[in-house]
Amino acid sequence: MNHLENLKKMVTGEIPGPPVAQLLGFKVVEVEEGRVVIEMEASERLHNPMGTLHGGILCDIADAAMGYTFASTLADDELFTTVEIKLNFLKPIFDSKLRAEGKLIKKGTTVGLLECHVYDEKGSLVAHSTSTCMILKGNAEPKRVERGNGK
């Protein structure tokens, strides 16, 4: 499994995005090693009780952009997991096309530090996020096996 090549195939539509991307409606639109951009249309269907975009949606697209970014740097037999994420909300969103730009800050042998800027359709910064990811080596399976129940 070549992570970078699979991400590039998502951009061209050769392979679908993961279920969460389909559920929320976000798409990978740009990919290069150490940088991934995701876009999505935010609308009323994703509003919280206050009438603005639910903050968890911003966290989801930032997490996805940073996760895809980290995956773009991994060897074929490596997977990863997010061990920490932080998000600053900078302005409310009602209806807007959002653009989440994930970028690798530093990658070590076991952990990586990433950041994401989320912009609205006017190019205004909506949220800033950082994430720490841990590399899981020696696992060529595309999905991790949950221990104990055979799934």
Q: What is the mean pLDDT of residues 117-141?
A: 91
Strands 26-32 and 96-107: unpaired
Q: Give the C-alpha separation, 32 to 72, whole Å.
A: 7
pLDDT bin (cut points 50, 70, 90) of residue 149 is very low
Contact 35, 64 (CB under 8 A): no
β-bridge partners, 32: 35
**Res 35: pLDDT:** 98
What share of the chain has pLDDT > 70, as a percent? 91
Overall average pLDDT of the 74-100 stretch: 96
What fold, for 3-136? Thiol Ester Dehydrase; Chain A (3.10.129)
Is it the case that residue 139 has pLDDT exceeding 80? no
**Are the beta carbons of 87 and 149 closer than 8 angstroms?**
no
Residue 143 banded pLDDT, cuts 50, 70, 90: low
